[in-house]
Amino acid sequence: MAKEFLISVIIYFIYVFLKSGNSIHMLQQNKYNRKKTYLKWLKRNPAKAFKNYSILFILLAIFIFFNNLTLLIVCFNALYLILTANLILERKQGQNKLPLKYTARVKRLIVTNTIVLLLPIIIMCFFVNETNLVYCYLILGLFAYLNNLYILIALLINTPVESFVGYYFKRKAINKIKSMKTLKVIGITGSYGKTSSKNILNDILNIKYNSMPTPKNFNTPFGLMITINNHLDKFTDIFIAEMGACQEGDIKELCDLVHPKYGIITRIGVAHLATFGSRENIQKTKFELIESLPSDGIGILNGDDEWQRSYKIKNNCKIKWIGIDSEDVDVRAKNITLSPKGTKFDCYFKGDDKPYPFETKLLGYANVYNILAGIALGQEFGMTIEQLQAGVSKVKPVEHRLELKSNGDITFIDDAYNSNPTGAKMALDVLKLMPGKHIVVTPGMIELGDAEYEKNKEFGMQIADCADEVILVGAEKTKPIQDGLKEKGYDEKKIHIINDVLKAFPLVQSLKENETYVLLENDLPDIFNEK
């Protein structure tokens, strides 16, 4: 009996080990259950998490009544062979937009989870017999079925280790920052536009200085620690730290780590409203950056943003305002001209009536604001107008943020990173500028709390004004957009609904004309796929 059971558990273990890879992937996308985000995902997606074919293990219970052990073993082995084959086939056919990153933390989690999976199997191998075989199979089946919850045991076991690792790298980063006496530290936060602003500022400052930004969207405490410990060196003049937040206190935590002297707030919107609770909480959290600056620090704020204008700053540091519509600002853009090739504008400085022309390859008003912030801070760092103009002209398009990508007679406007209401509207304005046929591909916007339906419906109405065809990703998630399109009388034959963004590209090929522009607005992680 032990030999037959051993063969069964080998087959079973292969399946649960592979399935655990999927669970760890979802855990990683949900920030390792920080702020219980993983548990919230399980609650929102019970069909994905629990309603799968492994529930067929309960059929083994019938063998309690039919005492046929040979048939029981054959059925158990067949079930998990089929489930394993199906899992492997799904992985080959699928393509994750955000694949699992095998970080040191993930590797530690895999080791711990493997031990957690093996422990009950080893115990059962010692005690299994003909009487309790069916119950052993039922217990193993339950563990496999609840794998998305079972993985939390390994996460819990690793918590002390991760805390120690985090503390070690934090102390190392703090000590390194302290040792770099001449290093200028800039913090950038906002509801959206952080990464674009960071990269634009870096390109401008690098005309004169050796500037180092946090890579990609490394905007968490651990992301900043990695950047400081692995990338900053004695040649770095300026460190630009992108700062993300999901709740009050997050920005203050990051400021306590890097101690910025300079700060930029991009725009304050409704991103992550679901976790913040209110827009006032978002406003207060973003200003934690400005209120953490020293008295001789400098904050760059957007004068066209009512949520920045209305906030009473609890700090006496220097504030410089930028804007397009507002006249009472320190750095202002006027005479803005947008074209498929880029953007031109005149820049005016407070106390100087002379216009200074600037030109960039970037598209959209959102990028003009980000450039103004870079100009304002570059001026404070002693850069000349000529240096600023050269820096702006050399600014490179930011990946997945209104980035143009040509593919034959199709040009993609890639604005796939985390859409928000203001940014989505600006992206549609860019699409309007383009000649030829217009197609919008989007799954809509998330993490907008109670405003999510309203904002997505409004987005649908805006799409109706500029798109010739609409491809919506997720029938359920995009219902508000569908309602907005219908309210505007949009032709339902031109609304195409799919459940995976990867299916959009062959569909675009079938819908294209001689000259076609396709806006990719937002690309939700795999945890939001409706399949």
What is the token pair recorded at 416? 């796939």
Residue 438 lies in a domain: yes
Residue 229 lies in a domain: yes
Q: Which residues pair with 344 in a beta bridge?
A: 337, 359
Q: Are residues 311 and 342 in the same domain?
A: yes
Q: Which of 161, 196, 221 is the last residue of a domain?
A: 161
Q: Give me the pLDDT at residue 524, please.
A: 53
Q: Are residues 156 and 209 in the same domain?
A: no
- The identity of residue 471, as a single letter, is I
The domain that holds 191 is classified in CATH as 3.40.1190.10
Euclidean distance between CA atoms 26 and 30, whole angstroms: 6
- Residue range of the domain that includes 132: 2-161
Q: Are residues 343 and 482 in the same domain?
A: no
The domain that holds 517 is classified in CATH as 3.90.190.20
Q: Are residues 408 and 386 in the same domain?
A: no
Q: Are residues 222 and 111 in the same domain?
A: no
Residue 96 lies in a domain: yes
Euclidean distance between CA atoms 453 and 483, whole angstroms: 10
Q: Is 190 in contact with 286 (CB distance < 8 Å)? A: yes
User: What SS3 class is residue 504?
Assistant: helix
Residue 21 lies in a domain: yes
Residue 518 lies in a domain: yes
Q: Which of 393, 428, 447 is the last residue of a domain?
A: 393
**What are the CA-CA distances from residue 394 to residues 76, 146, 273, 358, 476 (Å)?**
63, 52, 35, 11, 42
Euclidean distance between CA atoms 342 and 364, whole angstroms: 8
CA atoms within 13 A on the CB side of 408: 5
Q: Are residues 343 and 254 in the same domain?
A: yes
Residue 174 lies in a domain: no
Q: Give me the pLDDT at residue 387, please.
A: 97
DSSP labels, 110-167: HHHHHHHHHHHHHHHHHH--TTTHHHHHHHHHHHHHTHHHHHHHHHHHHHHHHHHHHH
Q: Are residues 430 and 325 in the same domain?
A: no
Residue 175 lies in a domain: no
What interhelical angle do 147-179 and 104-127 show, nearest 10? 150
Q: Which of 340, 369, 393 is the last residue of a domain?
A: 393
Residue 173 lies in a domain: no
In tens digits, the chain (531 residues) has pLDDT values of 678 888 999 999 999 999 999 899 989 888 888 778 889 888 877 877 776 666 776 766 666 666 678 888 888 888 899 989 988 888 776 655 568 889 889 999 999 999 999 999 999 988 888 888 888 888 898 899 899 999 999 999 999 999 999 999 999 999 999 999 999 999 999 988 898 999 999 999 999 999 999 998 789 898 999 999 999 999 999 999 999 988 889 999 999 999 999 999 999 987 776 678 788 999 999 999 999 999 999 999 999 999 999 999 999 999 999 999 999 999 999 999 988 788 999 999 999 999 999 999 998 888 999 999 999 999 999 999 999 999 999 998 877 778 888 888 899 998 887 667 888 888 898 898 888 899 999 999 877 777 889 999 999 999 999 999 999 998 888 999 999 999 999 999 999 999 887 888 899 999 998 899 999 998 654 444 445
What is the token pair recorded at 418? 């985390």
Strands across the sheet with 184-189, in order? 211-213, 238-242, 184-189, 262-265, 298-302, 318-323, 331-339, 342-349, 352-360
Dump strand ranges (E) for 245-378.
Answer: 262-265, 298-302, 318-323, 331-339, 342-349, 352-360
Q: Are residues 123 and 83 in the same domain?
A: yes
3-state secondary structure 232-267: CCCCCCEEEEECCCCCCCHHHHHHHHHCCCEEEECE
Q: How many CB atoms lie within 10 A of CB 125?
A: 13
List, in order, residues 6 or more apart from 496 with CB less than 8 Å away. 469, 470, 471, 472, 507, 511
Counting the structural domains of the chain, the total is 3
Q: Which residues pair with 263 in a beta bridge?
A: 187, 299
Strands across the sheet with 495-498, in order? 403-407, 410-415, 516-521, 437-442, 469-473, 495-498
Q: Are residues 360 and 411 in the same domain?
A: no
Q: Give me the pLDDT at residue 527, please.
A: 41
Block residue for tokens 């960039």: 360
Q: Which residues pair with 342 in a beta bridge?
A: 339
Q: Are residues 335 and 383 in the same domain?
A: yes
Q: Are residues 112 and 187 in the same domain?
A: no
Q: Are residues 64 and 200 in the same domain?
A: no
